[in-house]
Copies of this chain bind each other. A is one copy, B any other.
């Protein structure tokens, strides 16, 4: 193999190697008398103005993308993502109850809030830490951000409809089941149009004399 062929071989080895290759490793793959440092310099020179450079990494050698091209190799991509129900719930609670601590959120949701949930909301830029509550442990309180208001087209959180309005808008569905007992005892929830006994028994069939 002449020098030209040996440089081709060097080039191929460095291209195919899984990690930077030391001159000693290169020497093991080339004829004994090969002038490895000289050929590496030649090869480096050949790539000097190309899109890929031959660089020395410590005592090893490797091909690397030319640094000036870095920015052009990046690709910007926008990904649409659906927010999980847990995240939406947490977000809603923060919006309605801010400033609110994580413990309070958990109490309202009656579920432990995983660390990731707040992270997602933070990543979306929709919540921000508001301060600290003056209770033991001084927990962080959370509130929504301007981006949140922006995204949902709200002027302020005060514009969020209250529970009664949600109900009037039909956004709260009535709970099925528990009909009899709940309706029987719940005087405060006056629902005159409801017939709470419907489900009990078709007891007409047993009519005793009256």
A interface list, Cβ under 8 A from B: 1, 7-13, 15-18, 28-29, 49-52, 63, 65-66, 69, 72-76
Contacts and interface: CB of A to CB of B under 8 A. Distances in A.
A9 B16 CA distance: 19
Contacts of A12: 51-52, 65-66, 69, 72-73
Given A9-B69, A10-B51, A12-B73, 18 more contacts: A8-B49, A8-B50, A8-B66, A8-B69, A9-B51, A11-B51, A11-B52, A12-B51, A12-B65, A12-B66, A12-B69, A12-B72, A15-B52, A15-B63, A16-B52, A16-B75, A17-B75, A18-B76
B9 A73 contact: yes
Contacts of A52: 11-12, 15-16
Given A8-B51, A11-B52, A50-B8, A16 B72 contact: no
Nearest to A17: B75
A72 B183 CA distance: 59
A166 to B, nearest CB: 33
A76 B29 CA distance: 10
A22 to B, nearest CB: 14
A29 B75 contact: yes
Contact of A16 (B1, B7, B65): B65
